[in-house]
Amino acid sequence: MSRFYPDAPRASVSVLCHRDGRALVVKRGKPPFKDHWSLPGGVIELGETLREAAARELLEETGVTADLDQPVETFDSIQRDPDGKVVTHFILTVFCGAYLAGTPEAQDDAADLDWVLPEELDDRPTTPGTPDRIRRLLSST
């Protein structure tokens, strides 16, 4: 199924990997939201559990692993074109975990990455809701 103008929502995951009060964010290298900062993540593959998908996406995009437990939130990301047609619809399940290992390096479809304090996101283009999500989730770790 296409990611753009899909006939159904796409099940996806994202990961807030944290270390020393900082969140690991990636600069998206592809649409949607190319060149915007976001949590690492992507579409769940057939036969993959949510946690397996989150661990895989984090490793593929950043080269790191994190201590992932249970999902911390689920939300819809729906983008529409000027005519109101759904361009993308992802249902994202978010995991939060402390950094475990690996050398952070932008890989796969990530153009760049950075460890950021929540307030450092205010001057960057981000995917919708990302700064608030990071602030909220980091405050509960």
- Burial annotation 62-72 (CB, 10 A radius, 16+ → b, else e): bbbebebeeeb
- Report pLDDT digits (tens) over 103-134: 999 999 899 999 999 999 999 999 999 999 99
Which CATH number does the domain housing residue 105 bear?
Answer: 3.90.79.10
Q: Looking at the domain assignment, is residue 3 inside a domain?
A: no
Domain of residue 42 covers 10-139
Under the banding of pLDDT at 50, 70 and 90, the label for residue 1 is confident
- Give mean pLDDT, residues 51-57: 98
Record the tokens describing residue 63, joined without a space: 């080269």
Q: Looking at the domain assignment, is residue 47 inside a domain?
A: yes
- How do strand 110-116 and strand 37-38 relate by DSSP bridges? unpaired
Q: Looking at the domain assignment, is residue 4 inside a domain?
A: no
| Number of separate domains in the chain | 1
- Report pLDDT digits (tens) over 60-79: 999 999 999 999 999 999 99
- Burial label, 86 (beta-carbon count in 10 A; 0-12, 13-18, 19+): middle
Q: Looking at the domain assignment, is residue 38 inside a domain?
A: yes
- pLDDT score recorded for residue 3: 86
Q: Looking at the domain assignment, is residue 5 inside a domain?
A: no
- pLDDT score recorded for residue 137: 95
